[in-house]
Amino acid sequence: MYQATIKEVIDFEGIGLHTGEYCKIRLHPDDSYKGIRFLIKGDYVPANYRYVVNTKYSTDLGKGDRVIKTVEHLMAVLYMLGIDNLVIEVLKGWEVPAMDGSGYFFYKNLKKLIQKLDREKEILEIKSPISVKNCTARIEALPFDQFLAEYVGSVEGLLKDCRVRFKGNAKGLVFARTFCFDHQVEALRKAGLAKGGSLENAVVFGKDGKVYNFGGLRSKDEPIRHKLLDLIGDLYLLGKQIKGRIISYYGGHSLNYDLVKSLADL
């Protein structure tokens, strides 16, 4: 398997989910084999776990005052498309645009731009089981002959212990939008988050699985699929594809980050 970049420059723009600001990023082809890098105010911030500055409600990268929020959906799409090298120039704002809250627009536009490079991909192979946990969640990483990622989760009033799986079919995940509950909105806004959140870029649940969005869910397990998308995006902060099986039970960005740090130490 060879590394890849993209054939030509492409822009993505729109409101940032948390900052509420208009954001614009420009993806440049790159064949310097330096991985995925954000270019912020003239300085590079690698898309690498070493530069994670926040994992609460989103995964944010930064170096000093150069910060880019909510990288996970774009990173998940780059992982699934096998794109290894890119310069992502941050032109406006300090967040990856939310688009429709899923990875769909990134996927649709980048899929046709893949450009193979000459060097072999770097693969991180899980040779023995590892697990990380906190009070309510755990993630296991197990040896396996390919990359397989699974998420087991529940949504109050809608889904109980629902399991979804990624074995290579990006289309099964990229459509799944970010979500929250109506009772969380006020607290998020008070914390200065979700300022750009709306029914245009997030699913909002009420009691008993009620969905506020016109048209409802894109699949019954959409929120669980989104959590798996988040997991894959966070895993890509290793900067490598993984050979192994990852199973998350109710995990989120912080636990994903813990796993990535454990895997990086292998």
Residue 46: CB minimum distance to Zn ion, A: 21
Show the tokens assigned to 45: 């911030």
CB burial string 48-66: b at 16+ within 10 A, e below = bbebbebbebbbbbbbeeb
Show the tokens assigned to 96: 């990856």
**What is the widest separation between alpha-carbon atoms in the chain?**
52
Residue 108 CA neighbour count, 13 Å, CB half: 8
Among 178, 241, 248, 256, binds Zn ion (CB under 5 A): 178
Tell me the per-residue interface mask from 124 to 163 with Zn ion, x by CB under 5 A, - otherwise. ----------------------------------------
Residue 72: CB minimum distance to Zn ion, A: 5
> Which region among 129-137, 180-188, 230-238, 242-250 touches Zn ion (by CB under 5 A)?
230-238
* Closer residue to Zn ion in complex, CB, 30/230: 230
* Closer residue to Zn ion in complex, CB, 130/233: 233
* DSSP labels, 19-76: T-SEEEEEEEE--SS--EEEEETTEEEESSGGGEEE-SSS-EEEETTEEEB--HHHHH
* Closer residue to Zn ion in complex, CB, 147/151: 151
Q: Are 177 and 202 in contact (CB under 8 A)?
A: yes
* Closer residue to Zn ion in complex, CB, 142/185: 185
Residue 58: CB minimum distance to Zn ion, A: 7
Q: Are 86 and 30 in contact (CB under 8 A)?
A: yes
Size of the site for Zn ion (CB under 5 A): 2
* Closer residue to Zn ion in complex, CB, 130/170: 170
Tell me the per-residue interface mask from 188 to 227 with Zn ion, x by CB under 5 A, - otherwise. ----------------------------------------
Residue 57: CB minimum distance to Zn ion, A: 9
Whether 253 sits among the annotated catalytic residues: the reply is yes
Q: Kindly state whether residue 230 participates in binding Zn ion, applying the rule CB under 5 A.
A: yes
Q: Are 23 and 73 in contact (CB under 8 A)?
A: no
Q: So which residues are the catalytic ones?
A: 253
